[in-house]
Amino acid sequence: MSKKRHDSQPSAPQAKQPQPKQPPAKPKRPPSGLPWHVVSRCLVSLLVLLHMTAVISAPWNLSTGDALPPGYVAPPGQPEVPAPSSTVWQEPPLTRVLHRFFRHYLNLIYMNHGYEFFAPDPSGTHLVGYRVSKSDGTTIEGKFPDLEDQWPRLFYHRHMMLAEQTQMMGRASGQNYADHLATLHGGPSRIDWMIHMLLSPQQVAEGKPLDDRSTYQVIESLDGRPRVTETKEAAIAIPEAGR
């Protein structure tokens, strides 16, 4: 970027000397007082506009979904909500086109995501409970997230996200967790993917604790086997660090 100060630097004072008469100069545009040349400013303005459009396009695209025509009523014998492949659904054209245009740029700078913090509504947390049977006959049990096992808080939170985002990725991710635990401890594993339901203010006011056993529900259980890898390397782990 040019660092020349074209129109902001006052000229050095000069001694007054009689000047020969010159034809009147063409009136100049008033100086902007800005250091960057107008061409640089135009170019950067264009880049800024493109960047901000890209930044907006990611959450905008995520916040818009296909819509049914107003007052849509399913034809007799058809499901109330049409299949996702149905042409009845109206796709939001602008957000999809913008996002498709900018998606690679957004991926490269890790901005291809939404900002739906606790939206549309706060919900219960997912957890993973596990049990691994080691070859020596002992059993290891645990869960994540677990405040007693994962410290500091950010490390605990990473485990919480691990369990939470299984919901996004589906069954295969849970299977990977089971296989990882089996590989780590050298024996078959079983994981329980759970949800911890939230209690209403009325239930809490009546004295029910937030971690009441009835609030945990197992969604699915999966069995894991140690992964077979070509070259097994010794794991480097910090002692006492959470699994």
Partner 1 sequence: MKGIFRDVSSYISEAWQAWNRFWFTPTDPATLSLIRVLAGSMLLYTHLVWSLDLQAFLGQEGWLPVDYLRSQIQVETLPDGSMETDAEGNPVAAWSVWSVFFWIKPVWLLWSVHVIALIVFFCLTLGLFSRTTAVLAFLFAVSYAQRVSPGAFFGLDKINCMLATYLMLGPCGARYSLDRIRRLRRGDTSPAMPSTSANIAIRLIQLHLCVIYLFSALAKLGGENWQAGTAVWWAVANYEYQSLDMTWLANWPVLVALLTHITVFWELLYCCLIWNRFTRPLMLWIAVGVHGGIAIAMGMITFGLSMIYANLAFLSPATVRRWVDPLAGWFAMRLTGAK
Q: How far is the CB of 188 from partner 1 (least distance, A)?
A: 17
Prior bond to 76 cis, omega within 30? no
State which of positions 173-212 bind partner 1 (CB under 8 A).
Answer: 173, 176-177, 180, 183-184, 196, 198-202, 204-205, 210-211
Return the structure tokens found at 64. 């818009």
Q: How far is the CB of 22 from partner 1 (least distance, A)?
A: 29
State which of positions 137-176 bind partner 1 (CB under 8 A).
Answer: 145, 152-162, 165, 168-169, 172-173, 176
Among 125, 131, 134, 149, binds partner 1 (CB under 8 A): 125
Instruction: Return the number of the residue (96 or 131) whose C-beta is nearest partner 1.
Output: 96
- Give the integer Cα–Cα distance in Å for 193 and 96: 34
By CB under 8 A, residue 9 contacts partner 1? no
- Helices 38-63 and 93-108, packing angle to 10 deg: 110
Q: How far is the CB of 59 from partner 1 (least distance, A)?
A: 4
Q: Which among 163, 176, 151, 175 has a CA at the least distance from the CA of 124? A: 163
DSSP state of 11: P
State which of positions 62-81 bind partner 1 (CB under 8 A).
Answer: 63
Residue positions counted in the chain: 243
Q: How far is the CB of 94 from partner 1 (least distance, A)?
A: 14
Among 67, 74, 81, 116, binds partner 1 (CB under 8 A): 116
H/E stretch holding 192 reads strand 189-196
Instruction: Return the number of the residue (23 or 171) whose C-beta is nearest partner 1.
Output: 171
- Give the integer Cα–Cα distance in Å for 210 and 207: 9
State which of positions 94-113 bind partner 1 (CB under 8 A).
Answer: 96, 100, 103-105, 107-111, 113
CA 41 to chain centre: 33
